[in-house]
Amino acid sequence: MHLPSKHWRSLPIAIGLVIFIQGVEYFGWFASWNGRLFNYILANATSRSEQMGSRPIVVVEIDDQDRSRCFGPHPPLNASRVFNLVAATAAAQPKVIGVDILTDDETTMQIYQSKLASLSQLSPTVVWASGETSKPDKSFEPAFPAWLMGARNDFPVKPTRVLGVEPGELSEYPQITWAIPVYPTDEGTSIRRLPRWIWASADPQNSERREWERTWPRVIAEAFCNGPCTEEAADEIYITYGGTAPRCFLMRDLAACGEGDRVQTGNSSWNDFQSVAKGNIVLIGGIFHDSGDFHRTPLGLSTPGIIVNAYAVKAELLGNGLRDVRQPLAWMLDLLFGIVIIAFFNKETFRKLIGLKNPWLQTKPGMFLIGILFALAVCLASRWVAGGRYLLGFAGVSVGLLLHELWELLKKDE
């Protein structure tokens, strides 16, 4: 696309805007504004597919009263009761059970290991959650220039024990299906993304050995679908919190705890639970107040982790989350968009691109109006064309360049 020399002075403005917008993204200067926009998008998705995606997911919540009554007032939870609760849930014949309860405490290791032989007797696939004992090292964060070229923080996660088995030994126990629920915090410390793969290492600080592991929601969804649920190929997908919410039951409405660590089903909601759980996905997790497992999401400030996991499983089942735009593609798209806007204000190029005979549309006000409409159209289409997340880049470049071109037009009229 040819740009006459008098218009080249707008190109440095476009480049400067691109660098500024990328800096905003990298340093998070406008994090709350960008976050509010995506909170609205992700909390208000109510398509038919969103509603259908929630139907296979049922949540069993263990609150403070249930914990005190069945598992003891303080962590760790009674290991025998946890296992018996899973076995009792299996009686409802779900296809997959996800257990979002850490089983890594040293005082319960022997109890869980004594139950390993019984795992193969459970007909549903049981996916146990592992915690993470290492946090991303700031030294792994790429510098701004490297980030622009696509560098990322690939610091691996160290899993906790699962059913008393050390992370480095889990491969020796094929009867244990496990994964790590990991969610990076976005703008405003809100959870919106689901990484579908993560690096895991038993010793991330000292060992170079690391493996790609599927995250917990993905393992559960693929166990339910007997393989990939969709053709989604992105490394990350966005969690849509709209539509029909997963069905939730309190543990005490389903089962009672008896002597000898028994868990007996048949309480008031058991029949209802059986009807919705059969052949579907059941997630079990705690919502007790001192668990530290409450998160800021588009749903609110204190969303329980088990509910975040439920919506993440739904996102994996649907495979239609908003995709990320990676560097360096993001800034290249911004720059290309800026060049196109500059070209619109070249009268000769404008005539060729638009091909309109209306004289007013070829005047300066008409050119500016068409430029605004074009910018709005691209920004709105960016949700589908560029994945939606990079609306900030398109909007920032378009507003900046349109203001610059307006100033140029007004200056010529003086």
pLDDT tens by residue, 177-204:
999 998 776 656 677 778 888 888 877 7
- Cβ atoms of 170 and 158 within 8 Å: the answer is no
Looking at residue 11, what is its pLDDT?
80
- Reported as a pLDDT band with limits 50, 70 and 90, residue 412 is low
The residue among 42, 60, 58 whose CA lies nearest residue 50 is 42
Mean pLDDT (the chain, rounded): 79
- Cβ atoms of 214 and 179 within 8 Å: the answer is yes
Domain range for residue 63? Answer: 46-318
Q: Average the pLDDT over 214-236 and give the result.
A: 90
Looking at residue 147, what is its pLDDT?
80
Together in a domain, 361 and 268: no
Boundary residue ending a domain (318, 335, 358)? 318
Residue predicted with more confidence, 17 or 51: 17
Q: Which helix (H) or strand (E) holds 394?
A: helix 391-413
Residue for token digits 């993905």?
A: 218
Looking at residue 278, what is its pLDDT?
95
Residue 2 has pLDDT above 70, yes or no: no
**Position 399, amino acid:** V
Q: Average the pLDDT over 49-68 and give the result.
A: 81
The residue among 258, 277, 259 whose CA lies nearest residue 93 is 277
Q: Average the pLDDT over 406-411 and give the result.
A: 64
The pTM for the full model equals 0.77
Looking at residue 370, what is its pLDDT?
67
Residue predicted with more confidence, 373 or 352: 373
Together in a domain, 135 and 264: yes
DSSP reduced 3-state for 319: coil
Distance between CA atoms of residues 380 and 324, nearest Å: 16
DSSP reduced 3-state for 139: helix
Together in a domain, 210 and 309: yes
Together in a domain, 61 and 19: no
Q: Average the pLDDT over 232-238 and give the result.
A: 78
- Reported as a pLDDT band with limits 50, 70 and 90, residue 48 is very low
CA angle 285-173-198, nearest 5°? 60
Boundary residue ending a domain (318, 335, 351)? 318
Together in a domain, 360 and 219: no
Domain count, the chain: 2
Q: Average the pLDDT over 326-351 and give the result.
A: 73
Structure tokens at 376: 């709005």
Together in a domain, 193 and 96: yes
Residue 38 has pLDDT above 80, yes or no: no
Together in a domain, 19 and 62: no
Together in a domain, 15 and 58: no
Distance between CA atoms of residues 337 and 280, nearest Å: 45
DSSP 67: I
Top mean pLDDT of 69-78, 121-130, 240-249, 292-301 is at: 121-130
Top mean pLDDT of 36-40, 84-88, 243-247, 258-262 is at: 84-88
- Reported as a pLDDT band with limits 50, 70 and 90, residue 84 is very high
Boundary residue ending a domain (318, 353, 383)? 318
Looking at residue 333, what is its pLDDT?
77
Together in a domain, 267 and 387: no
Number of C-beta neighbours around residue 327 at 10 A? 19
